Structure 1
Amino acid sequence: MAQPSCWIIYNGNLHPKKFMDFAEWTAKAAEKKGITPTIIKNNELLVTFKNGKSMISGSYTNSSPDFVIFGDKDIFLAKQLEKLGIPVYNSADSIEICDNKSRMYQTLADHGIPFPKTIIAPKVFGDLHDESHYYAIAREIGFPMVIKEAYGSFGMQVHLVENEQELLDLMKSLKNTEYVFQEMIKSSYGRDVRINIVGGKAVASMLRKSETDFRANVSFGGKTKPYTPTKEQINLAAACAEVTGTDFAGVDLLFGNDGSPLVCEINSNAHIRSIYDCTGIDVALHMMDFILNDLKERGPSHE
């Protein structure tokens, strides 16, 4: 059997080193598992419609991989690769669910998954002219309150508001940005648990804790240490991956006021260097093992 090949796709317009780092890290894991990887920018593969048909044009039209690791959120490109019959990990639908926090929480609620009290901000076009919903939201959630923009990574689009004026000011500055209002879980202030799920199983876990910020993200000064999750935490993280359809995911859990875990969010494109630095576990190797086994189960055309 010929050595399998894969494309590892990342966003060509994102310059932070961590995006290329993920692509290079997974490429090394692929090579260790006997897979030939090619790292490709998303803007080198153009979703094109011509003569009533859809296709991909660009630099790689004369080749096709056995599978794709999609380290980006270019949903229409992922969908087009799937239309061509190429297995994509994670799937376009699962990435789309996790990428938009409003849709993610709605999906979790459809399956009874516990997370902090959340309200999706009403749709705004342009500037905010009607803030009447603010009063009901303030009564329901109270202060301090967390505001999460629907799209964002590494905690960069997550805000903490302490009072009514801060909330109004932020609502006006966000304008037509999609976002959600969320209860602040005081018992989990500045700390959470990241569990990496691959193929429905927990393969690595770490505790993240910040002494200076309500967000535990490493990008905001959070420190990490290896963590042994409880059975309840493992089951909750695995359930998150299942209901969102992610083959692999980084699930962030909060410590609820009563001690039970709550879902903070699910990352379909979880970066894996920090958990390796913390635990010594290479999540990418587990990802490759899962993919190779999944291709075998799909049949000869994908082996």
Structure 2
Amino acid sequence: MSQFYVVVDKLADWEPYFPSQDVISLDDYLSEVHSKAGKKVRVINLCRDYHYLKSGYYCSLLAEARGHKVIPSLTSINDLSRQSLSSLQFVWADALLLKLPQPSQDEIHTLRICFGRVLDKAFSKLAAKLFELLPCPILEAQLKYSNGRWQLRNVKPLGLKHLSTSAEQTLFAAALEKFSLQIWRKPKVRKAFRYDLAILVDPQEALPPSDEDALQYFTKAANQLGIGVERITRRDSARLAEFDALFIRETTSVDHHTYRMAKKAEAEGLVVIDDSASILRCTNKVYLADLFSVNQVATPKTVLLRQPTDARLKALVKEIGLPMVLKIPDGAFSRGVVKVETEAELLVQAQLLLKESVMLLVQEFMYTQYDWRIGILNNQPLYACRYYMVADHWQIYKHESAQSANTEAESGGFDTLPTFEVPKAVLDVALKATKLIGNGFYGVDVKQSGDRVVVIEVNDNPSIDHEVEDLYLGEQLYSEVMKEFLRRLEERGR
């Protein structure tokens, strides 16, 4: 059961709005509200001043010290106080600013943003994005239109007292009501779980890391351990402070909301699998190639390519041999990976792929009937699969036929085995690779050709589908993952 409070400097600050027993003064919050066993406290800090050592700063500081979930968090307050950091977070804004209406002359426009909402609907997407990145109840953004374009000049937090007009107060009241109902709503019927876990998914994803049945098994396993589960999407970024842990079940990328939400969840103190460092390291094949080379992890012969000159390509053919494989750094599910058979094909494909990335991996081609996938959790083998190549194809996924027929990608067959039946050399190289990355949840792709065993890549957020990866362990697979969440949650609470 959660307790919910809106904290103001003085109760008189709340006079323009309907009375509520959830609204308390800062003095009452400091003296009376403490965490009790079995209860969680959610706080909206509406104090007048968030500057360092002012009332709003102390409210959030002490809320976090007490283990309360508070908005704005200290991280948000500090980010907003350091304009250099805040400005770095505005790189994304250009695309949204281009879509704003263009005035007939230069002007400065000020937005008052209440929980991501604004009076002028033309600025709604910009306001929502600012609130997502810098969650604070009331923000003021200053925009300047000059030389035919908008610029985002400044973003700062405001206190409740700054809302002086009836329209702004009405906007705030509606936004707060929507926020409190949707973000910290009390479930109608729900068990009192010890912890709350958010599972991040994209319902529209064509090849998600887990299918519907697997997600339900994860939920069942978590509930049996006293962990409540709710699925969230990218739209729920502002809700992260509501949870104790985040499990990402959506294909990840660094230039993507999955990475930003992982970072945000970590800043809020959540247990996160997979963590932002793992996403950063695993989703870039260039990073992995260099990491494995330096640490002597066996891989296919690999070279980095930037300039596809004739001399460079001839040297690659001599060094690696044909056929060879070209990869963009952040491809997933066999996308952005091509095999070339001739020097002419090498030149064409390299030029095409270098339009997507300034650097490519050129890798020795090793044909095998299947790739090993070793699932590793906290540096322990969890499951093992053999993914077979698509018939008459060299990969386990075939996207070309799917794109032409507008259907799902074709995939090969699979075997699921207990880890004790996996060759020791395969397990050893998989564990050596993941120990260089972290203690998260990884899927290591390994090729075995005779006595030669090499790592192809390490995937964060590995696939877990019902009756595929779980075919040997069954429900125990889901239970082991949730036990790791519970272990980390209890360790965090010590």
Provide TM-score, normalisation by structure 2.
0.52
CA distance in 2, matches of 1:252, 1:281: 21
Counterpart in 1 of 2:53?
none
How many angstroms apart in 2 are the aligned matches of 1:217 and 1:195? 18
Contact conserved, 1:6 with 1:67, CA < 8 A, in 2? Answer: yes
How many Å separate the matches in 2 of 1:250 and 1:296?
A: 25
Aligned counterparts of 1:18 and 1:199: Cα–Cα separation in 2? 19
Name the SS of the counterpart of 2:298 in structure 1: coil
TM-superposed CA distance for 1:255, in Å, is: 0.8
Task: Give 1:16 deviation, angstroms.
Answer: 4.5
Partner of 1:205: 384
Match of 1:6 in 2: 197
Residue 16 to residue 205, structure 1, CA distance change in 2 (3 Å):
closer
Residue 293 of structure 2 is matched in structure 1 by: 109
Paired position in structure 2 for 1:80: 264
Partners of 1:18 and 1:249 in 2: CA distance: 12
CA radius of gyration, larger in: 2
Displacement after TM superposition at 1:272 (Å)? 0.8
Q: Secondary structure at the match of 1:96?
A: helix
* In 2: Cα distance, 1:232 partner to 1:281 partner: 25
Per-residue displacement from partner, 1:220-269 (whole Å, max 9, x unpaired)? 4321123321122112212222111142111111014x513110111111
Q: Secondary structure at the match of 2:219?
A: helix
Q: CA deviation at 1:109?
A: 2.1
Match of 2:433 in 1: 240
Structure 1 residues 217 and 252 mapped into 2: Cα distance closer, same or farther (>3 Å)? Answer: farther
Displacement, 1:163?
0.9
Q: How far is the alpha carbon of 1:33 from its aligned partner?
A: 2.8
Q: Pick from 69, 84, 101: which aligns with 2:247?
A: 69
Aligned AA for 2:278?
S
- Residues in 1 aligned to 2:233 and 2:326: alpha-carbon distance in whole angstroms: 32
- The CA deviation at 1:135 is 2.1
Partner of 2:446: 253
Of residues 450, 459, 462 in structure 2, which corresponds to 1:267?
459
Partner Cα distance (2:350, 2:335) in 1:
17
Q: How far apart, CA to CA, are the structure 2 residues paired with 1:111 and 1:284?
A: 32
TM-superposition CA deviations, 1:28-82 (whole Å, max 9, x none): 432343311111112431xxxxxxxxxxx4xx26x52111112342222211221
SS in 2 for 1:14: coil
Matched, 1:221 2:411: yes
- 1:209-229 Cα offsets, whole Å, 9 max, x none, are 224221135954321123321
Distance 2:460 2:267 in 1: 20
Number of the residue aligned with 2:229: 37
CA distance in 1, matches of 2:397, 2:453: 18
In structure 2, which of residues 323, 329, 338 is the aligned counterpart of residue 159 of structure 1? 338
Amino acid at match of 1:81: A
Taking the aligned partners of 1:18 and 1:95, their CA distance within structure 2 comes to 14
Kept in 1: contact 2:209–2:249 (CA 8 A): no
Between the two proteins, the alignment pairs up a number of residues equal to 278
Amino acid at match of 1:87: V
Q: What amino acid is the match of 1:209?
A: Y
- 2:277 paired residue number: 93
Identity of aligned residues (%): 23
Q: For residue 298 of structure 1, what is the aligned residue in structure 2?
A: 492
Which residue identity does 2:230 align to in structure 1? Answer: T
Instruction: Confirm whether residue 140 of structure 1 aligns to residue 326 of structure 2.
Output: no
Aligned mates of 2:424, 2:226 — CA distance in 1? 34
SS at match of 1:146: strand
- Quote the Cα distance in structure 1 between the aligned partners of 2:268 and 2:380: 29
Aligned to 1:289: 483
CA contact 1:5–1:36 (8 Å) conserved in 2: yes
| Structure 1 pair 197–278 and aligned structure 2 pair: CA distance change class (3 A) | same
Which residue, 364, 370, 389 being the options, matches 1:183?
A: 364
Tell me whether 101-110 or 88-97 shows the greater mean CA deviation.
Answer: 101-110
Which segment drifts farther, 170-179 or 139-148?
Answer: 170-179
- Following the alignment from structure 1 to structure 2, what is the Cα–Cα distance between the partners of residues 14 and 120? 31
- Helix, strand or coil: the match of 1:165? helix
- Offset from partner CA, 1:128-185 (integer Å, 9 cap, x none): 7x55422222221110101122122221322111111111111122233233110011
Distance, in Å, in 1 between the alignment partners of 2:298 and 2:488 is 30
Larger CA deviation: 280-289 vs 94-103: 280-289
1:286 aligned partner, one-letter code: E
How far off is 1:280 after superposition? 4.6
Question: How far is the alpha carbon of 1:293 from its aligned partner?
Answer: 1.4
Cα distance, 1:96–1:23 mapped onto 2, change above 3 Å? farther
TM-score for both structures, normalised by structure 1: 0.82
* 1:179-212 Cα distance to aligned partner (Å, 9 max, x none): 31100113x2x41111111121112112222242
Separation of aligned partners in 1, 2:217 and 2:382: 17
CA contact (8 A) 1:95 1:246 kept: no
Seen in structure 2, the aligned counterparts of structure 1 residues 183 and 15 have a Cα distance that, compared at 3 Å, is closer
Q: Give, in whole Å, the separation in 2 of the partners of 1:121 and 1:26.
A: 41
Q: Which has the higher contact order (CA 8 A, sep 6+)?
A: 1
Between the aligned partners of 2:211 and 2:474, the Cα distance in structure 1 is 20
Report the more deviating stretch, 140-149 or 24-33.
Answer: 24-33
